[in-house]
Structure 1
Amino acid sequence: MKPHDFQKYLRKNPAPQLNHTGFTRFVVIPVCDENGYIDATLAGLAAAPGIERTLVVLVINHPANASPERKAANAGLTARLEHGTSPLPHLAYFTAFDLEGGVGRARKLGMDACLATLTPENVEQALFWSLDADSPVEPEYFTATEAEFDRHPEYAALSIRVRHQPGETPELERAIREYERYLDNYVERLRQAGSPYAFQTIGSAFAVRATAYLRAGGMRVREGGEDFYFLQAVAKTGKVGTLGRALVHPSPRPSDRVPFGTGPSVRKLLEGGAVPEIPDTPFDGLKTLLAAAARPGALEEPAKFLAGLPAPIRQFLTQNKFAANWPQVLANTPATGEARLAAFHQWFDGLKTLRLLHSLSDNR
Structure 2
Amino acid sequence: MQKSYPEKVSYYLEKKSLKRWNLEWAESSGIQVAIVIPAICEFENIKRVLLSLVHNDKSCLEKSLIIFVLNNSIASKPEVKDDNKKSIAFLRGMINRKSSDRIAGIIFNSGMHIGLIDAAAEGKEFDDDQGGVGLARKVGMDIALEVFDYSTSEKKLLISLDTDCVVEENYLDEIIRSFTKHNFSAATVDFEHILSEDGIDKLGIISYEIFLRHLVAGLLFAESPYAFHTIGSTVVCDHEAYIKIGGMNTKKAAEDFYFLQKLAKHFTINRISSTKVRPSARESWRVPFGTGRSMIDFSTNKKDILLYDADVYVILKDWLELLYSDLSLNSNLILKEAKKIHPELYNFLENRGFSMDWEKILENSKSVKQLDYQRKNWFDAFETLKLIHHLRNTSFPMIDINSGVEKLFKVVQHSAKYELSGNKHNLESLYMGYLAELRLLENALHK
TM-score (norm 2): 0.76
* Residues 254/308 of structure 1: CA separation in 2 closer, same or farther (3 Å cut): same
- Residue in 2 aligned with 1:267? 296
In the TM superposition, residue 277 of structure 1 has moved relative to its aligned partner by 2.1
Does the CA contact (< 8 Å) of 2:174 and 2:275 recur in 1? no
Does the CA contact (< 8 Å) of 1:136 and 1:250 recur in 2? yes
Query: In the alignment, does 2:49 pair up with 1:41?
Result: yes
Alignment of 1:57-206 (within 5 A): 57-84=67-94, 85=99, 86=104, 87=107, 89-97=112-120, 98-99=125-126, 100-118=130-148, 125-153=155-183, 155-206=184-235
In the TM superposition, residue 124 of structure 1 has moved relative to its aligned partner by 7.2
In the TM superposition, residue 152 of structure 1 has moved relative to its aligned partner by 2.7
In the TM superposition, residue 5 of structure 1 has moved relative to its aligned partner by 3.6
Query: In the alignment, does 2:324 pair up with 1:294?
Result: yes
Does the CA contact (< 8 Å) of 1:28 and 1:130 recur in 2? yes
In the TM superposition, residue 341 of structure 1 has moved relative to its aligned partner by 2.7
- Residue in 1 aligned with 2:349? 317
SS in 2 for 1:243: strand
Does the CA contact (< 8 Å) of 1:123 and 1:211 recur in 2? no
Q: How many residues align?
A: 360
In the TM superposition, residue 244 of structure 1 has moved relative to its aligned partner by 2.3
* Cα distance in 1 between the residues matched to 2:222 and 2:234: 24
Structure 2: which amino acid aligns with 1:107?
R
* Residues 134/105 of structure 1: CA separation in 2 closer, same or farther (3 Å cut): same
Structure 2: which amino acid aligns with 1:357?
I
Q: CA RMSD in A?
A: 2.0
In the TM superposition, residue 82 of structure 1 has moved relative to its aligned partner by 2.2
In the TM superposition, residue 351 of structure 1 has moved relative to its aligned partner by 0.7
- Most deviating of 273-282 and 234-243: 273-282
Structure 2: which amino acid aligns with 1:352?
E
Does the CA contact (< 8 Å) of 2:32 and 2:149 recur in 1? no
* Cα distance in 2 between the residues matched to 1:319 and 1:121: 52
* Cα distance in 2 between the residues matched to 1:124 and 1:156: 13
SS in 2 for 1:23: coil
The structure with more radius of gyration = 2
Report Cα offsets for 1:278-329 as digits up to 9, x if no partner.
111111111110011222x223222221121122112211221122222333
- Residue in 2 aligned with 1:354? 385
Ranges in structure 2 where 5+ consecutive residues have no aligned partner: 396-447
Report Cα offsets for 1:135-188 as digits up to 9, x if no partner.
1100110111122223432x3211111111120311111111111111011000
Report Cα offsets for 1:246-303 as digits up to 9, x if no partner.
51111111111101110000111113102352111111111110011222x2232222
Query: In the alignment, does 2:18 pair up with 1:14?
Result: yes
* Cα distance in 2 between the residues matched to 1:173 and 1:218: 36
Does the CA contact (< 8 Å) of 1:58 and 1:93 recur in 2? yes
- Residue in 1 aligned with 2:270? 241
SS in 2 for 1:257: coil
* Cα distance in 1 between the residues matched to 2:177 and 2:149: 24
In the TM superposition, residue 61 of structure 1 has moved relative to its aligned partner by 0.6
* Cα distance in 2 between the residues matched to 1:152 and 1:219: 24
SS in 2 for 1:190: helix
* Residues 53/4 of structure 1: CA separation in 2 closer, same or farther (3 Å cut): closer
* Cα distance in 1 between the residues matched to 2:73 and 2:236: 26
Query: In the alignment, does 2:345 pair up with 1:341?
Result: no
Percentage identity across paired residues of the two chains: 31
In the TM superposition, residue 342 of structure 1 has moved relative to its aligned partner by 3.1
* Residues 105/124 of structure 1: CA separation in 2 closer, same or farther (3 Å cut): farther
Ranges in structure 1 where 5+ consecutive residues have no aligned partner: none
* Cα distance in 1 between the residues matched to 2:164 and 2:80: 15
In the TM superposition, residue 130 of structure 1 has moved relative to its aligned partner by 0.5
* Cα distance in 2 between the residues matched to 1:259 and 1:351: 18
Does the CA contact (< 8 Å) of 1:124 and 1:211 recur in 2? no
